Structures are given as C-alpha cells and as structure tokens.
Structure 1
C-alpha cells in the first residue's frame, strides 16, 4: 500500500473581528513547548499562516484521525496566542500580509514584488510514495488532466480582500502568479524532468528546486510525488477525500505505466483552460472532461474520475467512502458554497470567518 502524507496551511485569525493575525511565531513557540506535537508545525511565507504535516499513513482512517488531531492542537496553541485557526484558502476579509523575516522569504519578496505579498493563500498538498524517480515522472505525466477535478472538489476561496470573486477557488488563480506554477508538458523520463528543473534553477528566476511549483512534482525532500493543486479544505473529511483520490491517481498511473499505457497528450494550453474552469465554477458548473477536454457536467466528470481510479480504490478499500464523499460534496457543496451561504444569510464576512473556524475543527 502506498503511503500518503498531507500538508495543510491554516489561516490565523482574530476570534472577534475575523481579520488575519500575524501571530505564527507565537503559535509555533507554544507548539515547540509541547512534546506531543512531534514537530508537525512549520512557519509559512506569511506570518498570518501556519502549516502542518501529517506522518505518512497507509490507511485513510488513520490519516483522517491525524488531520483532526493536529487541527485541534493548532486551535489550542492559537487560542493560547490570542487567535484562532481557520481552514480558509483565502481571507474573506481585507488583509495586509506580513512576510516572514527569514532569508528565503525576503529573497522572494525582493525578486517577485507584489506577487509575494499577495500570496497569503492556503493550500493542501498531498504526498504519495513512489518506488523511483522514473515511476514518479511517469505518474506526473499521466495524472495531469485529472488534477483540475481536484481543484473543483476542494474549492474553498470565493472571497478576496473583502469581495466576492465569482470563483470557487480564487486561491488557485493567485497561485498562478508564481513564474514556475501551473501545469507541465510531458517529461517522458526522470532524466528529462531533472534537466528541466536544473534549467529552471539556472535561469536565476527561482532560488532552488523547492521553488519549482509544478501542479505535480517529485518532492525535493521525500520519495514521493507531491500534488499541489487543492485549496485547503474546510472539512477534514474533504482533505481525506483529496488524499484518497490522489493516491488512487498515482496507483492507477503506475499500473498504466507497467501495462504500457501512455499518458494523454493534452497541451498545456488546454490544461490551463481546464484549471481555470474548475477554479471558476467548482462543482456548480461545467468542467472540462479529462479525456476529451470538452465541457461536461461536473457530476459526469467526477464520476469519470471515480471510474478512472476505481481499481486502485477498490484494492485499497477506499472506493465506497470516496463515492460517498463525492456525492456529499455534489449534494451539499464545497467549502466555497458553505462560505457563500453564510455570507448570503448574514451579510457579514466576519460571520463567514467565525463559521469557518467552527467547521475547521468539526
């Protein structure tokens, strides 16, 4: 069974006003004094954000339990520091992002200007183990057209600087401002992948391999493929769904490689359009079908994804739960719809943040 790990980025907010608070140093200091936290928390680019990493897990029950536990610990440390944590991919309320003072972050601020200051966005990254770089690159090549469906399922950022954006995942649009972000062409081999990354670093436009922000990449730290397209999910069970589907995609791609089935050769231009449409409407409008790149009902595209990974999810015992989770999102809406419902009902973005603080620990 391939192991799975999840990185989540959480927003630190004032429990009264709902505004982002630059208190990550205080929260991390409290976490460092608690041995039970096992160094799962890390600083992020902006001081209003907190990142945590789960341990690699083989079972989705264990992964879900760990996400819930760490979210609870993050909330406790935040309360002690005078703030709260919210699984929000963007801040609904206006914010003045505060960039961390370490050398790397300051280099980014100088290099990229306003794009760095605006990157106060929270994502969910999923790591899945692979046997080798060759297998990993084969996986990266084969999962490309399916990744926009994960954007649609995880959409949790409809507001930006106090305004409704019209997008389910505006975070993904902001993320595209990095020069190395976005979908990739087919690599074909680990050698070609490594050469492309080295060429990118050699331009001096990015600092190192860790700043190659492909939608799916070989991890610079672990023997994994890292998928980086999802918003941080409002609910822990949605994060588990995204992790389940990513592992299913990785396993299916590896099996396709073994059987000699090649990747779909969609252009980067079409993949960008698929990503844009998924970010724009989430599950409430049409998506581009991963096989045909033509507009198709979201329900049909989600079903196509489940059928694509059915063998892998059946073998891991995750198929029925994944189907139930997808059906629940299609019926009740993603985090973006939860946020919009609170806003439409109350007319208050502060109430949106308050509700999301509660949902984060539900």
Structure 2
C-alpha cells in the first residue's frame, strides 16, 4: 500500500464549509481504542508505544498511544461516506494488528480485558499521562481502569451547534450505549453487566451525561473545573457527548469498542441520522426534552447492565420497554435524517444483522458458553477484530 495514499490528514482539512442553518452533519469520524494481549496468555501487555511506532510508518498520526501501555488507538479521517468509513476502519485495524503481531501480541476490540494481567498495568510514558496518574493514583493501580471505547465525531459548525445537539440527543444516548455494550467479562469472570466498561470508566472525574449548557455556560464551567483542579485540563471533560476542543465536531464517547464493524457503522449511521433529524428542529426553536437527571442516569445504568437483553428505562417516558423496542424507537426518531442522507436502508440492514447476533456482550457470552473457557472468548474477539469472521 502506498504511504502517499495513507498520508495523515488533519480533521479540519477535510471538514466542509459551514452547512446551511439547520442542516445535518455531513462528515463523521471514528476513534477506536484497542487492547494488546500476549499471544500465549491472552493477558494485556504494555507494548503499545512500540506497536504505535511500527504502525505509524504506514498510518502516520492516525495511530496513537493511549493512557495504559497495553492500549492503542486509531483515528479515521472525516468522511461523508459510510462505506469509506468502514473501509478505512478495516484498514486501520489491519495495519495495527500487523504491527501488534510484530511485537508478539494480539489486537482486540473489547471494552475491558477478558483475562486480567499478571501484574498491575503501566502508564504510557507521556508528560500529560504522568500528571494524570500522579493526581488520581487510585484509578491507576489496578487493571479495572483499562477500558476501551469507540468515539464517534459528528461534524458541526462550532461549539454552539455541538452543545445544542448534545442537549437534544441526551434521551437517545442510552440506546446507542446499549447497542455498543461489549464488555461483560472483567477480572476473569462474567460481571453480570453487558458493559462493565461503563462502571469502570465512571470512576474517572468528568465522566457522565453532559449538562445542559449554552456556549457561554460551557466556557465558564470548563474554566472552573480546570481552575479548581477537578480536571487536569479540558481534554478531561469526558461527558457522553462533548464539543471537541481541537476540531469542529460533537464527540459521542459512551460506546464500548466493538470487534464487529457492523456495530461500529450502525452506531455512526444512527448518530448522524439522529443529528440530521434534530438540527432543523433546533433551528426552529423546539425546546430541549425535559428529563430528570436521576432518570437519565438510571437509563444509562440500565443500558450498561442489560445491553440489548430484557427491558430498559425509556428516559423520556419514564417507563420500561423491551431493549429492542428502544432501538426501534431510536431508528424511528432518526428516520427523517436517515432518509435525507440515503442511509435508511443501510441502518435497517445493519440493525437486522446486530439483532441476529445479539450484540457484542451476547457474542462474548456465547463464546464462553461453548466450553467455559475465557481463551475461547479472546480467540473469537481477535478473529472478529481482524475481520476473519462474520
């Protein structure tokens, strides 16, 4: 493959000119975090810096180190084409997996490690990571905090539009979270959660539903949180939907990373379709849905606990509905935007595939149920991450 073709492009270089007032995001981008596992034991191993260095020979800045040494990250270019997004994600995974193989380890897309490491995790050598580890040592001393997410970026005109979308998307984010749940195993056993990552990630400051803020309110709160030491910097604003500090996007950050690319593309399709539906309503002055904060947090907790199984709380109605019904409601809400983008059939087709598989958490549990072996779970995750299974 040509390095010229894969040369890194800054996100801002590919964003379109400001869209008309009320129009939907035309570009999307995805960041995926992965675990590196020892080829023999399936335990996390801190070879991330070397793997990233090797991958950067092809991917440039699209290959990134992460907080723990046993993690790596890839970042797509922004694109308006979902087929292009899927192809790039597959390529990024392939290159990173080959780089990992060169260091004797495996690339795995799971929200938490299935098999615990033999020793406490190490933090990647980095000045900022070092300051974070020093300020919050209790979050670093055990592997529970080694979690991997999938972050979806929606192109916007600036912070004001990103915050408006964040306010109006809040009722639907638990459903995206349920669709993405892919971390039932932790510390070598089934935790009973579909997304244990949700529980462990919530230990960090700055994690949770985004508050209802306009741009001035956001600036005041962000400055305050850093000034009083609640956060190290603005990059530690880990709200489930936040304005990016370095590119004009709304970043949705509550999803587990998934081995199945169908899930990743479905999440991105639904998020963009929903935003495209909502922006004209925002421009027309439709009010933000009124949801009590405890109810919203309960909906997120239920999504993480049950994923696509059983029932979960609808934060708007305040009543429980079957999990798949909540997904159908999201699909219907995003329908006008999906139709206008030409993505409605794609969304239905991807959702049918995910419905048949049961989602990431169900697939992991099915792997374990065959023989009661965690290495079967790891093996299936490795093959799915690298695209060698359907």
1:245 to 262, 265, 270: 270
1:63 to 85, 108, 113: 85
Partner of 2:333: 308
Alignment of 1:140 onto 2:166: yes
Alignment of 1:74 onto 2:82: no
Contact 2:29 2:154 in 1 (8 A): yes
Partner of 1:160: 186
Partner of 2:312: 287
Partner of 2:130: 106
Offset of 1:321 from its aligned partner? 1.4
Alignment of 1:43 onto 2:65: yes
Q: TM-score when scaled to structure 2?
A: 0.90
Partner of 2:229: 204
Q: TM-score when scaled to structure 1?
A: 0.96
Q: Distance in 2 between matches of 1:183 and 1:270?
A: 11
Contact 2:121 2:140 in 1 (8 A): no
Alignment of 1:175 onto 2:201: yes
| Local SS of the residue matching 1:52 | strand
Offset of 1:319 from its aligned partner? 1.0
1:260 to 252, 262, 285: 285
| Local SS of the residue matching 2:61 | coil
Query: Cα RMSD (Å) of the superposition?
Result: 1.2
Offset of 1:149 from its aligned partner? 0.5
Offset of 1:127 from its aligned partner? 0.6
| Local SS of the residue matching 1:151 | helix
Offset of 1:330 from its aligned partner? 2.2
1:92 to 114, 139, 151: 114
Contact 1:78 1:85 in 2 (8 A): yes
Query: Structure 2: which 5+ residue stretches go unaligned?
Result: 1-24
Q: Deviations over 1:136-183 (max 9, x none)?
A: 111010001111101110110001111110001110111111121101
Q: Distance in 2 between matches of 1:323 and 1:200?
A: 41
Partner of 1:129: 155
Q: Which runs of 4+ in 1 moved over 3 A?
A: none
1:339 to 364, 370, 376: 364
Q: Deviations over 1:105-152 (max 9, x none)?
A: 121112112223432100000111111222111101000111110111
Q: Distance in 2 between matches of 1:255 and 1:124?
A: 27
Q: Distance in 2 between matches of 1:250 and 1:137?
A: 12
Alignment of 1:215 onto 2:240: yes
Residues paired across the two proteins, number: 359
Offset of 1:212 from its aligned partner? 0.7
Alignment of 1:229 onto 2:251: no
Partner of 2:302: 277
Q: Distance in 1 between matches of 2:47 and 2:243?
A: 32
Contact 1:184 1:268 in 2 (8 A): no
Q: Distance in 2 between matches of 1:5 and 1:160?
A: 29
Q: Distance in 2 between matches of 1:103 and 1:59?
A: 36
